[in-house]
Amino acid sequence: MSNKILLIGLVNLKENKGDSNHFRKLINYLRKDQNVFTLTLGNSQNSNNEKLIYYPKNRIFRQLYWNFIISYYIIYLKITHDINVVYARPMGAIIMPYIICALINLKYSFEINGILFEGYLNKPKIHKVLNILYNWLLKKSEFIAASKGYCIYLNKTFNVSKKNLLELTLGYDKIDFLPSTKNSLSHLNLKNKNYIIFIGNIAEYQGLQYILKTIYKYQYQLINLNIELLIIGDGSFKKQLINYTNKKKITSLVRFIQPLKKSELKHYLVISKIGLSPFDYKRGIEGTISGLKTYDYFFHKVPILTSKMDDAALYIENKDIGKVIKKFDEDEIYLLIKDMLSVTYQNRVKENYEKYYIEIENNFSWDNRFKKIYKKLKYIS
């Protein structure tokens, strides 16, 4: 007998973004033989199995509204459809719905894809209360699905038992065909340079400030290396990075590009000599950050410059398909970039990707991820 599962994800399934695509795939996978209800963002009319809530612009109202409306739908679906499992991505102070689950003995599980209530670090009183509540909720959950790094974070920060953690990798769609560098350069109307690429959410913890400081300090050497940094995406820290680039007059070496669809993004990945994931050392515990961009680089065979904060850092080093920032100073980063741009290194990474590509495809597939979640949810009773 299948469970009646409510999936809660505060994403818009109509958007072509990483989180939205991931959650949509999870829903479709679980619907194979489970009775799945969903609660996501959107403005369309609700159906029996799909409930939509909107995104208020005012932050305080948004927190209050989401706490109320998600709690309401949990109680409503429990009464009207007898849901027996909730699988949710918790977000910040949106915590009342899961307190209600605990109080009415409705079983729930979490999927953690980031640092919990990180936005309240500058509000110590609220942060302290959230810390107490999350400590209680995490320990009462059936299981918590997270990447290797966030499992370490949950164990060390909240003392969550390892047996209650379901370690997952992120997934990626298999790529049947990659265009040639020549064709992609022609398609993008770009010159043949040593392109260094960053894609995704431009937040401070991504560590791009260290890359820009390195470019400023070593700009003349990097001009001789014929580099150009392509920063593709949007985010809260983008304006500061643009201002820094303009102030330091390094605009000839740095280009900002709006978010792109996968069909266009693949051309930028194919032409890139280095893919950046330089996660900031100030963001918590070493080896605990997981980023989807890493998998973009894996599947497009791009040499990766990451940091010791990345939970994939050891894998990248062991397979010799990239290098790891450990000191976060400009001298170290420049030498890593210089070494990675050498013909010898580029050829070695190319050979290693050929050697390990099937392993990468198998290890980091969506099916592999969803199968583990499915098995856990199926046998909750």
Whether 286 maps to a domain, the answer reads yes
Measured CA to CA, the distance from residue 238 to residue 236 in angstroms comes to: 6
pLDDT for the residue 49:
86
Per DSSP, which regions of 102-160 are E strands? Answer: 107-112, 144-147
Does pLDDT of 355 surpass 60? Answer: yes
Q: Exposed e or buried b for every residue in 243-281, given b needs 16+ CB within 10 A?
A: ebbeebebeebbebbebeeeeebbbbbbbbbbbbbbbbb
Q: Which two tokens stand for residue 173?
A: 């769609």
- The tens digit of pLDDT for each residue in 123-168 reads 899 999 999 999 999 999 999 999 988 999 999 999 999 999 999 9
Which pTM does this prediction carry?
A: 0.87
User: What percentage of the chain reaches a pLDDT higher than 90?
Assistant: 81
* 34, part of any domain: yes
The total of other beta-carbon atoms located within 10 Å of residue 222's CB is: 23
Claim to verify: residue 349 and residue 296 sit in the same structural domain: yes
| Domain match, 227 and 246 both | yes
Answer whether residue 270 shows pLDDT above 60.
yes
Give the pLDDT score at 173: 84
Calpha distance 14→42 (Å, rounded): 8
Same domain? For 161 and 200 the reply is no
Question: 88 forms bridges with which residues in the sheet?
Answer: 8, 110
Query: What's the whole-number mean pLDDT along residues 332-354?
Result: 98
Kindly state whether residues 243 and 327 are assigned to the same domain: yes
Examine the domain organization and report whether 263 and 342 are in the same domain. yes
Q: Are residues 137 and 229 in the same domain?
A: no
- Boundaries of domain holding 336: 181-363
Residue 378's pLDDT band, with cuts at 50, 70 and 90, is confident
Q: Are residues 152 and 59 in the same domain?
A: yes
- Mean pLDDT, rounded, of the chain: 94
Average pLDDT over residues 335-340: 99
Going by C-beta distance under 8 Å and a sequence separation of 6 or more, which residues neighbour residue 156? 285
Quote the radius of gyration of the chain (alpha carbons, Å).
Answer: 22
220 and 311 inside one domain: yes
Better-predicted residue by pLDDT, 14 or 341: 341
Query: How much is the average pLDDT of 71-100?
Result: 96
Q: Are residues 262 and 252 in the same domain?
A: yes
Give per-residue pLDDT as tens, 174-183: 888 899 999 9
pLDDT of residue 381: 63
Tokens of 116: 């919990």
Confidence of residue 1 (pLDDT cuts 50, 70, 90): low
Domain membership flag for residue 232: yes
Domain count, the chain: 2
- 124 and 229 housed in the same domain: no
What is the per-residue pLDDT for 12?
Answer: 93
Tens-place pLDDT, residues 25-62: 999 999 988 899 999 999 877 777 899 999 999 999 99
Q: Write the DSSP string, 311-367.
A: TTHHHHHHTTSEEEE-S--HHHHHHHHHHHTSHHHHHHHHHHHHHHHHHHHHHTBHH
For residues 127 and 90, membership in a common domain is answered with yes
Question: Sign of dihedral through CA atoms 245, 248, 249, 252?
Answer: negative
pLDDT for the residue 51: 92
Give the HSE-up count for residue 166: Cα atoms under 13 Å, Cβ half-sphere: 22
29 falls within a domain: yes
Between 322 and 113, where is the model more confident? 322
CATH number for position 55: 3.40.50.2000
Task: Let me know if residue 194 belongs to a domain.
Answer: yes
Same-domain check for residues 145 and 204: no
